[in-house]
Amino acid sequence: MGDPKGFLKVQRRSAGYRPVEERINDYSEVEVQLSDEERRLQASRCMDCGVPFCHWACPISNVMPEWQDRLYRNDWVGAWAALQDTNPFPEFTGRVCPALCEASCVLGATDEPVTIRQNELAVIEKAFSLGVVVPRPPKHRNGKKVAVVGAGPAGLSAAWYLNRAGFTVTVYEGDRKVGGYLRYGIPDFKLDKSFIDRRVKIMEAEGVIFKTRTRVGSAQYGFGTLGKDGEFIDPKELESSNDLVLLTIGAREARDLKAPGRENAGIVQALDFLALQNRSLGGENNEGLEPITAWGKRVVVIGGGDTGSDCVGTANRQGAKHVTQIEVLPRPPEHRPDEEPWPLWPKVLKTSSSHLEGGERLWSVNTKAFNGRDGKVDSIHACKVDWVNQDGRWNMSEVSGSDFEIGADLVLLAMGFTHVVQQGVVEDLGLVTDERGNIRTRGSFHTSNPKVWAAGDAKTGASLVVRAIAEGRAAAEAIIRTL
């Protein structure tokens, strides 16, 4: 522990964002970085607790006190080595993780938590700038072949560990580029895609084989939401030519809102809108994909979560006339509620950088219908709702006489993702799904087909980048033990 009294002397300081009037005109990352000296002071606030609850809360069990200490002592490479031991991709989590650890930081029980996520990002970026993050191919190959299907964070993490253990790993990705929702969901202003390319380059140099535009499944089902080009590969062929197939194909069925008037044009899934923006920023040719733009429009985002917030930020950047984000649940409390005491993760009001850029947020609002004009959406018919807790169950009821309309030229449905949409993979490989539609696993990762395993959102349902990375790592560890 570098400075035993650091937490008494130094206040938490978040790096913050670029000014709104500047960042709203571009798609570059909004978060700024502190100087190295200030970052070290922030690290000095870590108390190196006897029981570090931050480990417990972090899905990949990062050992924060160890690397905060090294960071404080100006040993950036040592800090990176300790971080890299548990997290293959700190440059992703350091940018987009909701920092589950910070809610459990012991300092947070009475003061403000350590800036763990931002310290993590500073450590990995410093390591890259010092040139220590270099390819380290395995010394020998063990002759075993694993096919990883899906190059989101879960697939990348599994491939990283399996390759380093000497397996020959081929990652099959249906889309044009690697990254899954890291690339086509999360906006560039939160995660610049060059950081995915930088990591993939290292993985390629270490021997991981990436086959993009290669969708595992049957041509009869088409490409779905993936880029509309490339080729198909038969899942059975993959099964027979590999020692094991790991499916990390994500949970990509978006929830819909089947209210009257849904057929009007201008009501689209959030991911279609976000992916299109990310694709054009990535220089992809969007020919054949339906153009969706918020420019000059009254935009309503249905869904108060992170995807909704990403839509708000993107719509504002595209020049929306007005943005309203509505959520059916009540407004969360600003502070940790009594029923979610430290060190639990509290459901509190989250105001993202996108919310600070403009727009209105409404809670306890239910969408009853979409009104159209000439086949295009023109407004949303909504009402206020009350939530009452009856015997531990929340019941929603309409507030009578509260109906109102919100003008809308573009409605973005951001109500979350439910399960795997994989006709052709799940069926052809004879896999069983659970009641939610995710791939059912026995033990931890085995599916009903012994040669096919599953991990990440495809198994757990829609979750977080850090959880997908943790799943990929755990699946790789289990594969290494088994094979």
Cβ at position 66, least distance to ligand SF4 in Å: 12
Closer of 36 and 229 to ligand FAD (Cβ): 229
In the complex, the smallest distance separating the C-beta of residue 5 from ligand SF4, rounded to whole angstroms, is 24
With CB under 6 A as the contact rule, the residue among 46, 58, 127, 275 that binds ligand SF4 is 58
Look at residues 259, 296, 290, 263 and name the one whose alpha carbon lies nearest to residue 275.
Answer: 290
Stretch binding ligand SF4 (CB under 6 A), from 25-33, 60-68, 279-287, 397-405: 60-68
> Considering the complex, what minimum distance in angstroms separates the CB of residue 50 from ligand SF4?
19
Binders of ligand FAD: how many residues, by CB under 6 A?
43
User: Under the criterion CB under 6 A, does residue 242 sit at the interface with ligand SF4?
Assistant: no
Among residue numbers 155 through 214, which ones bind ligand FAD (CB under 6 A)? 155, 172-175, 180-182, 185-186, 190
Q: For residue 306, what are the contacts with CB-CB under 8 A and spacing of at least 6?
A: 98, 350, 352
Of 326, 322, 315, residue with least CA distance to 381: 326
Residue 443 CB partners (closer than 8 Å, separation 6+): none
Give yes or no for residue 150 binding ligand FAD (CB under 6 A).
Answer: yes
User: Rounded to the nearest whole angstrom, what is the least distance from the CB of residue 216 to ligand FAD in the complex?
Assistant: 4
Residue 470 binds ligand SF4, judged by CB under 6 A:
no
Query: Is residue 95 part of the contact set for ligand SF4 (CB under 6 A)?
Result: no
Pick 113 or 174: Cβ nearer ligand SF4: 113
Tokens of 324: 């309203």
List, in sequence order, every beta strand (DSSP E) within 167-326.
168-172, 209-211, 214-216, 231-233, 244-247, 267-269, 298-302, 322-326
CB under 6 A: which stretch of 96-104, 205-213, 369-377, 399-407 binds ligand SF4? 96-104
By CB under 6 A, residue 302 contacts ligand FAD:
no
CA distance 190 to 353: 9
Q: Is 467 in the site for ligand SF4 (CB under 6 A)?
A: no
Q: Cα Rg for the chain, rounded, in angstroms?
A: 23
Buried b (16+ CB within 10 A) or exposed e, 231-240: ebbebeebbe
Q: Which residues pair with 17 in a beta bridge?
A: 31
Angle at Cα 168 formed by Cα 165 and Cα 172, nearest 5°?
120
Q: HSE on the CB side for 39, CA within 13 Å?
A: 27
Here's the x/- map for ligand FAD, 204-223, by CB under 6 A: it reads as -----------xxx------
Query: Are the C-beta atoms of residues 148 and 160 closer than 8 Å to each other?
Result: no
Binding site for ligand SF4 (CB under 6 A): 58, 60, 62, 64, 93, 97, 99-101, 116-117, 120, 466
Binding site for ligand FAD (CB under 6 A): 96-97, 149-155, 172-175, 180-182, 185-186, 190, 215-217, 226, 248-250, 252, 271, 274, 306-307, 310, 422, 425, 456-458, 462-466, 468
